[in-house]
Amino acid sequence: MFEKLQHIAVRAWRRVSLSGAVGIAVILVILWLVANSITAIQNNFQRQVELDNLKQEVALLQLENETAEFQNQYFKTDEYLDLQARKLLGKASPGEKVVLLPPATSVAPKAPELPTYRTAMQDRSNLEQWFYFLFSDKKET
């Protein structure tokens, strides 16, 4: 009888341990899949951030390129050449007179100091000013 019980217990243990081992294996596989999915999501997010940054950089470089092209077009115009001739060479258009001014001095005259006036309220302490603000009829100064 004892041997029969022992045999039944061993069979039950094998069934439980086999199903338990399968359960543990399934749980481990699920955890592994979840961990790999999270890692893939993080990598995709980082790559998307890098891609967005590169797209912004490309857009900025395109704007800088367009600005440089517009400047080149402006530098080829007669208006620019006329302004540069006036500025650098002191040239003038027909009928204009050039006025040359002395160079600006490094010492500028000081502005006169304005007098400062203190009111009676400013001579009071902070506490007195609060009492005046909160409790007076505002007729005195």
Read off the amino acid at residue 12: A
CA dist 50 and 52 (Å) reads 5
The predicted structure's pLDDT at residue 58: 96
CA dist 50 and 47 (Å) reads 5
pTM for this entry? 0.43
CA dist 56 and 50 (Å) reads 10
pLDDT tens sequence for the chain (141 residues): 777 877 777 776 666 666 777 877 888 899 999 999 999 999 999 999 999 999 999 999 999 999 999 999 999 998 898 888 878 887 777 777 777 777 776 666 677 776 666 666 677 888 888 888 888 776 654
The predicted structure's pLDDT at residue 47: 95
CA dist 41 and 49 (Å) reads 12
Dihedral sign from CA coordinates of 77, 83, 89, 92: positive
Per-residue tokens: 111: 């502005």
The predicted structure's pLDDT at residue 117: 61
The predicted structure's pLDDT at residue 57: 95
The predicted structure's pLDDT at residue 17: 66
The predicted structure's pLDDT at residue 62: 96
Would you say 102 and 96 are in contact if contact means Cβ atoms under 8 Å apart?
no
Centre a 10 Å sphere on the Cβ of residue 49 and count the other Cβ atoms it contains. 10
CA dist 117 and 119 (Å) reads 6
The predicted structure's pLDDT at residue 18: 64
The Cα-based distances of 42 to 18, 33, 83 in angstroms read 36, 14, 57
Please enumerate in sequence order all residues whose Cβ is within 8 A of that of 89, keeping only pairs 6 or more positions apart, or say none: none
